[in-house]
Amino acid sequence: MKNKILITSALPYANGPIHLGQIAGAYLPGDIYYRYQKLKKRDVIHICGTDENGVPITIEAEGAGKSPQVLVDYYYDNIKDSFERMGIVHDNFSRTSIQLHHKQAQDFFIKVYDKNYIVTKNIKQYYCPHCRRFLADRYIEGTCPYCGCDEARGDQCESCGRWLDPENLISPRCKVCGDTPVLRETKHWYFRLDLLQPELEKWIETKKHWKNNVKKFCRGWFNEGLKPRAITRDLSWGVPVPLKEAKDKVLYVWFDAPIGYISSTIEWASKIGEPDLWKDYWLNPETRLIHFIGKDNIVFHAMVWPAMLIAHGDYILPSEIPANEFLNLKGAKFSTSRRRAIWLHEVLDTIEPDLLRYALSVNLPENKDTDFDWDDFQNKVNNELANILGNFVNRTISFISRSYSSKVPGAHDLKDEDKYMLEFLLKTKNNMEEKIEGFELKKGIKALMELAKKANRYFDKTKPWENIKKNKDKCSRTINTCIQIVDGLATLMEPYLPFTSRKILKMLDINKNEWDSIGRPRIPENKEMGKIEILFKKVENETIKIEKEKLGIEELKMADIISIEDFSKVEMKVATIESAEKVENAQKLTKMIVDIGGEKRQIIAGIAEFYEPEELVGKSIIVVTNLTPAKIRGIESNGMLLAATKGNDLVLLTIDKEIDPGAKVS
Ligand SMILES: [Zn+2]
Ligand SMILES: [Zn+2]
């Protein structure tokens, strides 16, 4: 086994925040693996950063009337902050718009160019006479030749989904000014993937343990024969091509982005004051390079990027490319560009990171796509995390606090049942090592939960609450064994549930986990326990309801047929909104005081994205008045307003003519 490990996670594209699909695809797996290797005291670093170049960013920036730099600055901060809050640790989180990266990418280009792996080609490309520039594919719109949609982009028709070339479009126009572009000759630089095919094929053959789907994919490409691929574009944002004759051209983002792994490592080394240390990883054949990515990145990391590295010649090639399938949202793909997602920074406002880390870990899309759904999340947190893991830890420590004045009882002459548990702890450790090393992270967390389950059963069977009087020796053996398992669990869970692990350490009054000491009891007799803390609060129905509302997921229940009597139980009244304000730290919620005919009520509703507070004041709305009051984010809501919703729209129900507040609706 090579002794150094360089882990990278896919560079997130800086045109939007991070969503849960990306977390499950690359970032959480990368973090779990990294934290585990750290615990094993291996020489490991975890490198990442934002990918900030390319046409989608310039288009997004232009659309928002901002400069690309302002846009990427915003998302860099947003993404970095989301990762930190989620407990995803990188030794360096860089970005590809910095000078260091530009220089690194340009040097890379020159080296490959000098080795004759880059050629030029003259091609015809659309040019806008009004804007006086060549138009990259997404800067051209027109009519789709397949489906007739008149807003097809130069690279794809979103309506029918087909990939296009700009020349396919009927009546093309410049996206910026609307003028008709003309075809003009221009020069571009191409990377000779064709020349690299033989070496690439040989290299992939050595990857015996790679997943079959990856190898099959590559073989398909080899059979067709690799072709030279354009690495330059006409754009003003990005890494300038370092050649005099390539004025106004930048490197295509696919070429510069992965070089970001190297620049980020260089930045890390200089930040820690050892500027040459990066070479120990990138230039050292004793280093394992591991790229955590989502499946949409497989071909790139298994073929194109290694081809670039082979062409360059100085750097090591990837050892492993753990690629996950997709995490879907109720059967549809998460998508940043379509804004269909659960955004990490938003969800962390209401939900503890470890609860998400758990629900995602046990559901990682390692071999097939998996679904995320909020009911399942609630079930996993309440019935697995809280009832099994949290319960075992808390019952053990509370028992010590109650019955032994917070001091760990000694264990002498362990019996078979106790020894069995300690052996099972050691077995779990070995099992988890095997799974994590083999990138089967889901099985790792399941093994941990199996241990917690067994430990609970052991606690039940040995009945310390009875034996504290009937058989004191047995009771102290049980509790001592349990506290050693709690300690072991804290260590084993650190890669998956780092925040919870720290909480347990605090209760045990220990300052750090030691992976390799698992199985050797390290909590001495009479050790005093710290203050007890509940590990996991159960997730309330109300929280789940709010999260679903945010997504616009309506309950997919068939409307029951109800009788008139049932319907008449619902009391609805006209109410006038007297005041309204947004709820602090909750983007979607508005707090209102309404008047329902002399009676004032406070109502919390998820309408902040649709109505500004000042538009609401004075409106007459319809309110259901006989519901049990609910707490939303800790604030009481005493009534429910009626609104019509469809997709992403919401409008309030109001009255056709003036009538006094308090009037009954029937
Ligand atoms: Zn189409
Ligand atoms: Zn134009």
Residue 242 Cα, ligand 2 centroid: separation in angstroms?
A: 27
pTM flag (> 0.75): yes
> For residue 340, is pLDDT > 80?
no
Q: pLDDT for 275-302, tens place per residue?
A: 999 999 999 999 999 999 988 888 889 9
Q: Which pLDDT value is given to residue 563?
A: 67
In this prediction, what percent of the chain has a pLDDT beyond 90?
A: 69
* 566: pLDDT strictly greater than 80: no
Q: How far is the CA of 166 from the centre of ligand 1 (A)?
A: 13
Q: Which ligand is nearest to the CA of 132?
A: 2
Ligand nearest to the CA of 172: 2
Calculate how far, in angstroms, residue 179's C-alpha sits from the geometric centre of ligand 2: 5
Give 352 Cα–ligand 2 centroid separation in angstroms.
Answer: 48
Residue 152 CA to ligand 1 center (angstroms) comes to: 6
Confidence at residue 425, expressed as pLDDT on a 0 to 100 scale = 97
pLDDT band at 559 (very low <50, low <70, confident <90, very high): very low
For the chain, domains (ranges, CATH) are 4-117+191-333 (3.40.50.620), 372-517 (1.10.730.10), 558-665 (2.40.50.140)
CA dist list (Å): 202 to 115, 266, 320, 580: 20, 30, 16, 67
Query: How close is the Cα of 564 to the center of ligand 2, in Å?
Result: 62
User: Which pLDDT tens digit goes with each residue over 262-276?
Assistant: 999 999 999 999 999
Q: How far is the CA of 135 from the centre of ligand 1 (A)?
A: 20
- Please report which ligand is nearest the Cα atom of 150: 1
**Ligand 1 centroid, distance to 101 Cα (angstroms):** 37
Starting from the CA of residue 144, give the closest ligand: 1
Is residue 308 pLDDT above 90, yes or no? yes
218 or 479, which is more confident? 479
Distance 140 CA to ligand 1 centre (A): 14
CA–centroid distance, 169 to ligand 1, in Å, is 10
The candidate with the shortest Cα–Cα distance to 139, out of 184, 188, 170, 178, is 178
Q: How far is the CA of 253 from the centre of ligand 2 (A)?
A: 22
Distance from residue 62's CA to the centre of ligand 2 (Å) = 13
CA of residue 102 to ligand 2 center, whole Å: 28
What is the predicted pLDDT for the residue at 555? 39
Q: What would the pLDDT profile of 540-557 be if each residue is shown by its tens digit? A: 999 998 888 777 654 333
Using a CB cutoff of 5 Å, list residues around ligand 2, an ion: 128, 130-131, 174, 176-177, 179
- The average pLDDT across 414-424 equals 96
The mean-pLDDT minimum among 316-330, 419-433, 568-582, 627-641 falls in 627-641
**The predicted structure's pLDDT at residue 312:** 98
pLDDT score for 338: 58
CB distance 600 to 625 below 8 Å = no
Q: Does the pLDDT at position 92 exceed 60?
A: yes
pLDDT at residue 419 tops 90: yes
Any idea which ligand is nearest the CA of 148? 1
Find the 230 Cα to ligand 1 centroid distance in Å. 25
Cβ–Cβ contacts within 10 Å for residue 645, how many? 14
The per-type count for the chain, helices as H runs and strands as E runs, is 24, 27
Q: How far lies 117's CA from each of 110, 167, 252, 276, 449, in Å? A: 10, 27, 16, 28, 52
Ligand lying nearest the CA atom of residue 182: 2
153-169: pLDDT as tens digits: 988 888 887 888 888 89
Is 122 or 584 the better-scoring residue by pLDDT? 122
The bound ligand whose nearest atom lies closest to the alpha carbon of 146 is 1
Report, as an integer, the average pLDDT of 457-482. 97
Least confident range of 152-161, 177-186, 465-474, 617-626:
152-161
Indicate which ligand has the atom closest to the C-alpha of 152.
1
The CB-side HSE value for 590 (13 A sphere, CA atoms) comes to: 23
Distance 147 CA to ligand 1 centre (A): 4
Confidence of residue 336 (pLDDT cuts 50, 70, 90): low
pLDDT digits (tens, 9 = 90+) for 471-516: 999 999 999 999 999 999 999 999 999 999 999 999 999 999 999 9
Which pLDDT score is estimated for 286? Answer: 95
For range 457-474, the mean pLDDT: 96
Are the C-beta atoms of 428 and 448 separated by less than 8 Å? yes
- Above 70 in pLDDT, residue 382? yes
For residue 604, the SS3 value is: strand
What pLDDT score does 552 carry?
64
Point out the ligand nearest to the CA of residue 178. 2
Two tokens, residue 300: 């790139």
Residue 131 C-alpha to ligand 2 middle, in angstroms?
4
**pLDDT confidence tier of residue 337, bands split at 50, 70 and 90:** low
Mean pLDDT (whole number) for 351-359 = 97
Q: What is the average per-residue pLDDT within 66-94?
A: 97
